[in-house]
Structure 1
């Protein structure tokens, strides 16, 4: 495995690794940690990370009152797909890595759908993920599974931290440092400020549909549970699995400075996110699969937006760039001695 190389520049922010501005003036704090932020983190953790677990258990128990039907399955699938695409295409590929450009209406719609997932406001999410890329699998990474020690105990502790527990309390990346482009975008900031309203809307919509279809309060509750909390539970654990398991297990076709791995078997379930080593090797690529035959629904949506004129600058890494990072090619290349 290649050694980790220290970052000397953060392309997404324009600030150097030492935290100084472009003019070399006053240093910016990269992270913020105080009791007020920790209280907000604990509240968000309980509401949107723990509650969906309880909601999933309640949905199973509620089957005794209202058996699951086609409406619940349709709500679960459609809400998972819409909010999942909001995360992978909007939050991740568009806003974090600027892998393509999108029309304002499309960008706003993706931001709203991503907000409905309940994984944090768009500006905070982007700042956290940019810090993850800067410090991936090194000190400062908010959710690495590889920093908890060696042996089985250390690996299990690392997986538990990276998959779930890190969200209880963590240093908050300074959005002025990590997301200055987003806080200058007034339309996006307006969407971010309404984050809790969007999450609530994402829970109430399936409840409304369930109530209208079944014409009963049990239908509304069932729609709320399956299209809201269960959907949130499923999507969250899929995304968290990328942070945890795919930094320990899977294939590694490309050189990258961290321990990212591909898990192609989960490509459809993760909407393309499980091509994780590909993504870390080429974070500016709108396609995580990189090849047409690798399933990547997130990229399919980007191509559809491009065909519709709602997205542009959709550029994949060149063959030469991919070949230069391919591990098998490097190992087979003849070495030269001086």
Structure 2
């Protein structure tokens, strides 16, 4: 990773955190209302779904197909989450699946950085200063690399970061009576605080969902399901289910496993915006289930990987 890339990623971690500190001060002074929170919520949903549905289930795993214009829209929305370009994100995630919790995994809490808190730090944030964006596009994201539209969206990432901050700033400016105060509030809550939240929820899937939680499938990595994270992650925290069946559009595979992203994909399918939606039959799930349902995994005591079964895209 170059020094410029490292500094850019460090800014992406630190600046939203500074925004959260500023937001606490604004909250203390009652400089927040329903309008600010609504801007934050709308921006959170739009950009987080750009990651969960767009970057992840559509572009990385091809869990469903859709029209080119909608595919590119999701790629832009995912870019607005400020988690790196679409090319980098997809390549890193496919590399993660190819080497889950063994050498070569960009963000495992179990490999290369010790165990316990050191491993969790690396999986959650530390990897952004070392391995993020280093996966070879031609090897891990060839389909996107061969798509001129996706390459353009990837190259536009720095501009899309500015757009991601400009949109809530303009919304705050307009919805608060065309005032400078409103613009600042939109920038802080809909911009910096929202980016901070989307970042740390996503990074928690990398860290917490490979360290604590439950397992019910016989797979070789250390992924886990973490129920309390399901709603903010829009279904991504059923991560063990996902690693058992990477191409599944539904990560929540039981009625109580809330998966907002899967529900939206199903709605898209009903109105003709999604097709070829991949679902896993109960028989396939049962064939891969372990003997004791929902075995608890607690950090480094999780079983080490054995023979590896890969199912990328």
Q: Same fold (TM over 0.5)?
A: yes
Partner of 1:301: 264
| 8 Å contact kept, 1:66–1:222 | no
SS of the equivalent of 1:312 reads coil
Partner of 1:323: 286
Are 2:126 and 1:162 aligned?
Answer: no
Runs (5+) with no aligned partner, structure 2:
295-313
Q: CA deviation at 1:315?
A: 2.3
| 8 Å contact kept, 2:58–2:64 | yes
Are 2:215 and 1:252 aligned?
Answer: yes
Q: 1:206-241 CA deviation, whole Å, 9 max, x = no partner?
A: 110111122211110110010011000011111111
* Residue 212 of structure 1, aligned match among 174, 177, 184: 174
The separation in 2 between residues aligned to 1:176 and 1:234, in whole angstroms, is: 31
Partner of 2:92: 128
1:33-182 equivalence runs, <5 A = 37-63=1-27, 67-147=31-111, 154-170=115-131, 172-182=134-144
Partner of 1:285: 248
Q: Whose Rg is larger?
A: 1
| 8 Å contact kept, 2:171–2:186 | yes
Are 2:239 and 1:276 aligned?
Answer: yes
| 8 Å contact kept, 1:149–1:155 | no
Q: 1:272-318 CA deviation, whole Å, 9 max, x = no partner?
A: 00000000000000000023442101111111211221110012112
Give the CA RMSD over aligned residues: 1.8
Q: CA deviation at 1:248?
A: 0.9
Partner of 2:311: none
- Shift of the 232–149 alpha-carbon distance from structure 1 to 2, 3 Å rule, reads closer
Runs (5+) with no aligned partner, structure 1:
1-36, 332-338
- Structure 1 segments (4+ residues) deviating >4 Å: none
The separation in 2 between residues aligned to 1:293 and 1:61, in whole angstroms, is: 38
SS of the equivalent of 1:102 reads coil
- Shift of the 177–305 alpha-carbon distance from structure 1 to 2, 3 Å rule, reads same
User: Higher mean Cα deviation, 158-167 or 288-297?
Assistant: 288-297
Q: 1:141-194 CA deviation, whole Å, 9 max, x = no partner?
A: 1111112577xxx31110111111111122711111111111111222222121
The TM-score normalised by the length of structure 2 is: 0.89
User: Higher mean Cα deviation, 46-55 or 268-277?
Assistant: 46-55
The separation in 2 between residues aligned to 1:59 and 1:144, in whole angstroms, is: 32
SS of the equivalent of 2:58 reads helix
Q: 1:108-162 CA deviation, whole Å, 9 max, x = no partner?
A: 1111110000001001100000111111111111111112577xxx311101111
